[in-house]
Amino acid sequence: MDSNNGKSPRTVTEEIENLTLSPYACKSTATKGRKVYEPPCDIRTEFQRDRDRIIHCNSFRRLKHKTQVFLIPKSDHYRTRLTHTLEVSQIARTIARALRLNEDLTEAIALGHDLGHTPFGHDGERTLDQLVPDHFRHYEQSKRVVEVIEKNGQGLNLTSEVIDGILCHTNATAKTLEGQVVKFSDKIAYINHDIEDAIRGGVLRQEDLPKGPIEVLGKSKSERITTLIKSIIANSTNLIQYDEVTRQAHDELRKFMFDKVYFAPSTNAEKGKACHIVEYLYKYFIGSPEKMPELYVGFAKEYGLERAVCDFISGMTDDFAVDYFKELCIPKSWSY
């Protein structure tokens, strides 16, 4: 610490933030804090600690075996929920750095934004939403993961700003610009990377892409991502936004992907089976809650059985859900 005139590395980082970040950035010293107070770390700022907690938690590791769009693909090159998360983080950090926002806060939100996603992607999410009496949203579940489920029911005790960004990454507007950046980056990532996966999977051809948006954004994945990032950087001050031409091109390309890929028969051929697995497991654990791990049995008593079953199933990887279904439904003497 002598080289820092007796100051801790955290204090030096905080001073650098206060000197160099935009007036619109959320500085580490301005955090609203955690639900349960913790003494500051000598080395890391509060947002750096949140990033590290997310990276080291069980839910983050399980993302590597959760579907992005294509169910259990054979190729190693299709995106998983983990690689999607890393790509969102990279795009978000690029934007945050250019706008002089808090990169550590941005990264923490990006890495945690999909922790509550179900197995089998949005199809698993929709299935749980149809089954549970209340409702199920993956962004609300991501918040629940970091607040309640992780660390054997203790939660990660993250800062208010990170939790807000995680909750608001899909529909709502985050209170910080860093959270808003992640929301934009999530869409940039999944639209353009899903195009690449769809072409690889034979669902799309390059020439199928709509001409108008491609002329504005670019023919290649790299060109499109660069165009979108540049538009945000050029048009954002106290609000994250595109210029109007870029926004319209982005929205048209996104609509094309929903029409031609996300809800296309070729993409959805196996999804009915995946939805059946989620539905079967949900009904099974509703009828036999004692079969769930002890943690979720405790959640059932505290939060209600339906919510606890959603907690358990949404935390499963694709492989775990399939194997559990096989264990319950297929005789062990049969080969499969």
Q: What is the pLDDT of residue 270?
A: 75
pTM reported for the whole predicted model? 0.95
* CA pair distance 312, 119, nearest whole angstrom: 11
* CA pair distance 198, 221, nearest whole angstrom: 12
Identify the CATH number of the domain in which residue 247 sits.
1.10.3210.10
| DSSP-derived secondary structure letter, 102 | -
**Mean pLDDT for the stretch of residues 61-81:** 75
- In the chain, the amino acid numbered 263 is F
**pLDDT greater than 90 at residue 291:** yes
Assigned domain for 305 exists: no
Q: What is the pLDDT of residue 272?
A: 87
Neighbour-count burial for 134-160, b at 16+ CB within 10 Å, e otherwise: eebebbebbbbbbbbbbeeeebbbbbe
Assigned domain for 187 exists: yes
Q: What is the pLDDT of residue 267?
A: 64
Domain extent at residue 189? 2-269
pLDDT tens figures, 236-274: 999 999 999 999 999 999 999 999 888 777 666 678 899
Assigned domain for 194 exists: yes
**16 touches 34 (CB < 8 A):** no
pLDDT tens figures, 222-235: 999 999 999 999 99
**pLDDT greater than 80 at residue 20:** yes
pLDDT tens figures, 169-187: 999 999 999 999 999 999 9
Assigned domain for 306 exists: no
Assigned domain for 276 exists: no
Assigned domain for 302 exists: no
Assigned domain for 211 exists: yes
**36 touches 157 (CB < 8 A):** yes
State how far Cα 309 lies from the chain centre: 21
**pLDDT greater than 80 at residue 74:** no
pLDDT band at 6 (very low <50, low <70, confident <90, very high): confident
pLDDT tens figures, 84-120: 999 999 999 999 999 999 999 999 999 999 999 999 9
Q: What is the pLDDT of residue 30?
A: 98
State how far Cα 145 lies from the chain centre: 12
**67 - beta bridge partners?**
80
Q: 81-90: long-range contacts (C-beta < 8 A, 24 or more apart)?
A: 81/114, 81/117, 81/121, 84/114, 84/189, 84/190, 84/193, 85/60, 85/110, 85/111, 85/113, 85/114, 87/189, 87/193, 88/113, 88/182, 88/185, 88/186, 88/189, 89/185
**pLDDT greater than 60 at residue 73:** no
Q: Is 179 exposed, middle or buried (0-12, 13-18, 19+ CB in 10 A)?
A: buried
- Residue 31, SS3? coil
Assigned domain for 8 exists: yes
pLDDT band at 3 (very low <50, low <70, confident <90, very high): low
Count the domains in the chain. Answer: 1
